[in-house]
Amino acid sequence: MKASGAEDGGRPAGSPAPPPPSLEWKFSQVFGERMAGEEVHEVDIISAIEFDKSGDHLATGDRGGRVVLFERTDVTNHGLRKDLEKQDYPISRHPEFRYKTEFQSHEPEFDYLKSLEIEEKINKIKWCQPANHALFLLSTNDKTIKYWKVKERKVKKISEMNVDASIAEQNGNIASSSVNCPGGYLPNGGCSERPYNHLNNELSFPPGRLPSLRLPMVVTSQDTNPIARCRRIYAHAHDYHINSISNNSDGETFISADDLRINLWNLEISNQSFNIVDVKPANMEDLTEVITSAEFHPTHCNMLAYSSSKGSIRLIDLRQSALCDNHSKMFEERDTPGSRSFFTEIIASISDIKFAKDERHILSRDYMTLKLWDINMESGPVATFQVHEYLRPKLCDLYENDSIFDKFDCCQSGDGLRVATGSYSNLFRVFGCMTGSNEATTLEASKNPMRQQVQTPSRPARSLSTLTRVVRRGSESPAVDANGNTYDFTTKLLHLAWHPTENLIACAAMNSLYMYYA
């Protein structure tokens, strides 16, 4: 800290730091790229995406119940990255990933008691703490959560065979060297062109001894292969569809949330959970809101937040009571008089929440906006970012085709300076959340991400409490965006994740995984 009155580069001490410049995003990688006109199978569409805390691994889940893991390759030994930098070791400018392994996490099931089909689609994936050079993660579909362990296993191979290698090579393969009989075989298995006392010349005859016989030996090679094994299954605890799972900072527990309840689990105990939030009314006709998302605080193991379909976020403290029906704080934005319509409650429903990196803010995504909340201020969000405001006149069309019920993810950069979320036509938006920042970038999930960038006019800096992102209105045509481009509601970018330490975003466009760096 500098003394009062000191200046830093011409800026008086005590004045707010200038916002960082806007990032220039570039294409990095794509996995499972879809060619023009190629049909996408429903089971291949990506439905969940998550980086681990180190950023060295990335997991995706799809509607077919598969989990695919990717690992970082730009530095072979991530623990020695700083040492390599000091030695001017050539390393990549941005993280690069490669396919590691995949496994079938969930299978389609049928609940015979309720006559209900249970899809295999992966709703959420969460990484757990690694141990003993093994990776651990949780995956869930609508009803069942599974705890997976992925570890590198050394490949075992057969090292010795009884046939001499040179003879085997002459005969083409091992089997043919001892079974070829040009003249055919006798009923007892003998060869018609060889006398009964003829011995196979492929066996060695040590002087005065019987032919030697070498048994095959299985040895462990230096090659490794990742093997996934299901450690535990947490089932039969939710009557409604699971929409969220979240790890606790204590490394021992996690929560799972459905429409009406939140359960607390211990990773080591799969047959018992504790119900900590229950919003189900005695009469279901009195039900006015449901739980849409839930997440543990990143460092305080006793705090968690959950959002509702009415656009509110509740913060609860597990130390207050065993059943946390009463919240510690509730964050909600009041409606302006005369602004309510038939769609008000529908578009206010929060689809995703994330605790910010500074642990003081909460990021939430509803249908139209991205909002940043201060934990110490319940009256309203400190920043609101308009994602696709030009769709507001088209809410009737979005309601007719059910697009208004789409649930978009949100994420924040590792340094806490920017937030991101998805939209339609495979677009996603990146906003600067520092005081005075005008950064509002639109990118397309393709090899040319800047093709559909929205240029926002410069305007004077505003305080964080009134910071709002406004996208310019385009044509009022029901399928035209702010740039006059045709808008496609069938290609939606619902899932994306920001690398925990680098400016790298991974996003899912149908069955393709795109990565961009800045």
In this predicted structure, the answer to whether residue 87 has a pLDDT above a threshold of 90 is no
Residue 508: which of 53, 14, 70 has the closest Cα? 70
Q: Compute the distance between CA of residue 349 and CA of residue 383 in angstroms, rounded to an integer.
A: 18
Gap between the Cα atoms of 60 and 239, Å rounded: 26
Q: DSSP 3-state assignment of 267?
A: coil
Strands 467-469 and 440-444: unpaired
User: What whole-number percentage of the chain has pLDDT above 90?
Assistant: 60
User: Who wins on pLDDT, 257 or 450?
Assistant: 257
pLDDT band at 130 (very low <50, low <70, confident <90, very high): very high
Burial 142-180 (b: 16+ CB within 10 A, else e): bbbbbbbbbbeeeeeeeeeebbeeeebeeeeeeeebeee
Q: Where are the alpha helices (DSSP H) in 115-164?
A: none
Which ranges of 375-462 would DSSP assign to H, the alpha helix? 395-400
Ranking 266-280, 362-376, 451-465 by mean pLDDT, the lowest is 451-465
Residue type, 12: P
R_g (Cα) of the chain, nearest Å: 30
Helix, strand, coil distribution of the chain in percent, nearest 5: 10, 40, 50
pLDDT of residue 223: 79
Residue 351 makes CB contacts below 8 A (sequence gap 6+) with: 292, 293, 365, 366, 367, 406, 407, 408, 409
Write phi, then psi, for 452 (nearest 5 degrees).
-115, 35
The answer to whether 314 and 308 have CB atoms below 8 angstroms apart is yes
CB 19 within 8 A of CB 434: yes
Rounded Cα distance between 40 and 20, Å, is 40
pLDDT of residue 214: 67
pLDDT at 247: 96
What is the separation of C-alpha 293 from the centre of its chain, rounded to a whole number of angstroms? 15
Mean pLDDT calculated for residue range 233-250: 95
Distance of CA 181 to the CA centre of its chain: 59
Q: What are phi and psi of 450, to 5 degrees?
A: -90, 5
Look up the CATH superfamily of 361-456+484-517.
YVTN repeat-like/Quinoprotein amine dehydrogenase (2.130.10.10)
- pLDDT (tens digit, 9 = 90+) per residue, 320-366? 887 888 889 999 998 776 677 889 999 999 999 999 988 899 999 99
Q: How many other C-beta atoms are found inside a 10 Å radius of the C-beta of residue 117?
A: 10
What pLDDT, in 10s, does the model give residues 106-126?
999 988 888 889 999 999 999
Q: Are 356 and 412 in contact (CB under 8 A)?
A: yes
Cβ neighbors of 112 (< 8 A, separation 6 or more) are none
Q: Where are the domains of the chain?
A: 361-456+484-517
Distance CA 291, CA 213 (A): 70
Q: Tell me the C-alpha distance between 505 and 144, whole Å.
A: 29
Q: Quick one: what percent of the chain has pLDDT higher than 70? A: 75
- 15 pLDDT band, cuts 50/70/90, is low
* Rounded (10°) CA dihedral 381, 383, 385, 391: 40
Residue 440 banded pLDDT, cuts 50, 70, 90: very high
pLDDT at residue 434 above 80? yes
pLDDT at residue 72 above 50?
yes
Confidence label for 465 from pLDDT (cuts 50, 70 and 90): very low
pLDDT digits (tens, 9 = 90+) for 158-193: 776 655 555 444 544 444 434 445 555 445 444 555
Q: List Cα–Cα distances, 186 to 174, 194, 474, in angstroms.
A: 22, 11, 88
